[in-house]
């Protein structure tokens, strides 16, 4: 597989999670002193649509993941802030044809870790739980910075890796509008990437263009921690270049999904989410099922 084709494959497989995130209630109102412990399982499977100029066809992939995360809320300049960290492990199988030859590979190991700092700039001042319970619900305007760190498994002598061997940053702004039992959320952000200076076979420099990512969610809450949401995302950009080559693998795709949150005791909840591609011009056309468990406690 030539380096240009390999760049597209790394972009579409190892970096697939960057733009495809679907996260309802990312800027929901919360009190300070809340702690979250999260365990998530996911399975993604489907086809990969490559640029017609690349000699890669009939590509299919199945990728599984386990993630452990922690989050905490606190006051920052009088506003509510949330910091979170997620450590994922992934394993999967990828098959396809390069020219006339059929190929299949398997990979497993630590994936790139994710960190996020978000802040509700308007509509949710920092307050303890006893005051938060009395506060009215207001429209929230928030902002965040997500970081993907190069902690994933990476071997410069392999074309396909779990880790990307580069940093990625996504500044984002969002708005959450409550209407009775309904919530309407919308976010827009841009992923930007540092270069990978040791791309296959270890001596090439790979760069990736920014990816514009938008999300929209409509959710209905029946009671605390029991809610359902309809989710949608659109993302575009992300062409990858090796050395001075032309960018390839640019995406312009949309996904649709749903999320269900269920209470499981006083401090626990379960979340089930499903998403699938709507329009896929280039990139991954995956069906993803994810299940998450969350444990919540408040600091005194």
Residue 219: give its domain's CATH number: 2.40.128.130
Look at 235 and 100; give whichever has higher pLDDT.
235
Residues 268 and 296: beta-carbon distance below 8 Å? yes
Residues 73 and 33: beta-carbon distance below 8 Å? yes
Comparing CA positions, the residue from 112, 53, 111 lying closest to residue 282 is 53
Q: What is the mean pLDDT of residues 124-153?
A: 95
Please check the confidence at residue 60 and state whether its pLDDT lies above 80: yes
pLDDT at 53: 46
pLDDT at 19: 54
Comparing CA positions, the residue from 193, 176, 194 lying closest to residue 185 is 176
* Tokens found for residue 222: 């029946």
**Separation CA 110–CA 92 (nearest Å):** 12
Residues 104 and 95: beta-carbon distance below 8 Å? yes
- Total count of domains within the chain: 1
pLDDT at 6: 39
Find the domain containing 228 and state its range: 3-298
Number of Cβ atoms within 10 Å of the Cβ of 163: 24
Residue 12 phi/psi, 5° resolution?
A: -85, -25
Q: What is the pLDDT of residues 236-269, one digit of tens each?
A: 998 888 888 888 778 888 999 999 999 998 899 9
122-160 core/surface letters (b: 16 or more CB in 10 A; e: else): ebbbbbeeeebeeeeeeebbbbbebebbeebbbbeeebb
* Tokens found for residue 111: 């994936």
DSSP 8-class letter at 102: E
Q: Which residue has the tokens 């017609």?
A: 52
**Separation CA 34–CA 186 (nearest Å):** 24
pLDDT at 100: 74
pLDDT at 61: 86
Element at 19 (helix H, strand E): helix 16-20
The CA R_g of the chain, rounded to the nearest whole Å, is 20
DSSP 8-class letter at 162: S
pLDDT at 46: 87
pTM of the full structure:
0.89
Residues 183 and 190: beta-carbon distance below 8 Å? no
């Amino acid at each position: 597989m030539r380096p240009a084709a390999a760049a597209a494959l790394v972009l579409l497989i190892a970096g697939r999670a960057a733009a495809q995130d679907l996260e309802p209630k990312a800027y929901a109102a919360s009190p300070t002193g809340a702690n979250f412990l999260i365990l998530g399982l996911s399975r993604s499977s489907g086809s990969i649509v490559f640029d017609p100029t690349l000699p890669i066809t009939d590509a299919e992939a199945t990728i599984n993941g386990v993630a452990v995360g922690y989050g905490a809320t606190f006051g920052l300049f009088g506003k509510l802030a949330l910091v979170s960290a997620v450590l994922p492990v992934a394993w999967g199988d990828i098959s396809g044809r390069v020219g006339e030859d059929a190929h299949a590979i398997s990979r497993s190991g630590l994936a790139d870790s994710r960190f996020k700092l978000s802040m509700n700039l308007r509509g949710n001042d920092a307050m303890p739980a006893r005051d938060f319970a009395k506060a009215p619900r207001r429209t929230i305007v928030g902002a965040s910075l997500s970081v993907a760190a190069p902690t994933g498994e990476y071997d410069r002598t392999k074309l396909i890796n779990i880790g990307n061997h580069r940093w990625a940053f996504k500044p984002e702004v969002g708005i959450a509008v409550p209407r009775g039992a309904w919530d309407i959320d919308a976010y827009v952000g841009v992923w930007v990437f540092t270069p990978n200076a040791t791309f296959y076979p270890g001596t090439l420099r790979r760069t990736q263009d920014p990816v514009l990512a938008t999300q929209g969610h409509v959710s209905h809450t029946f009671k605390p921690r029991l809610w359902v949401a309809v989710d949608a995302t659109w993302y575009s950009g992300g062409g990858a270049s090796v050395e001075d080559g032309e960018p390839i693998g640019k995406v312009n795709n949309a996904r649709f999904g749903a999320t269900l949150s269920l209470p499981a005791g006083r401090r626990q909840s379960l979340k089930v989410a499903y998403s699938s591609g709507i329009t896929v011009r280039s990139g991954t056309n995956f069906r993803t099922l994810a299940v998450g468990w969350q444990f919540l406690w408040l600091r005194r």
